[in-house]
Amino acid sequence: MANGAMKTQRWFDAVQRCQHKGEAYALVTVLGCTGSTPRDQGSKMVITGESTYDTIGGGHLEFVVTNKAREMISDNKSVQEIQHFPLGASLGQCCGGSATVLMETFAGCDFHIGLFGAGHVAKALVTILAGLPCKVTWVDSREAEFPADVPANVTQVISDQPTYELEQLPNGSDVLILTHNHQLDYELCLSAIKHGNLRHVGLIGSLTKAERFVKRMLHRGIDQTDIDRITCPVGLSDVPGKLPMEVAVSIAGQLIAVENKGKTTDARRGLAWKEIKQELGGEVNTEGQGSVLKVTHT
Each residue's pLDDT tens digit, 209-252: 999 999 999 999 999 999 999 999 999 999 989 999 999 999 99
Angle between helices 120-129 and 244-260 (to 10 degrees): 50
Each residue's pLDDT tens digit, 136-167: 999 999 999 999 999 989 999 999 999 999 99
**pLDDT average, residue stretch 291-295:** 72
CA 49 and chain centroid, separation: 13
Each residue's pLDDT tens digit, 79-138: 999 988 876 655 455 555 778 899 999 998 889 999 999 999 999 999 999 999 999 999
- For domain 112-259, the CATH class is alpha beta
Helix H, strand E, coil C: the string for 162-189 is HHHHHHCCCCCCEEEECCCCHHHHHHHH
pLDDT above 80: residue 282: no
Counting Cα atoms < 13 Å in the Cβ hemisphere of 184 gives 20
Spell out the domain ranges in the chain.
2-108, 112-259
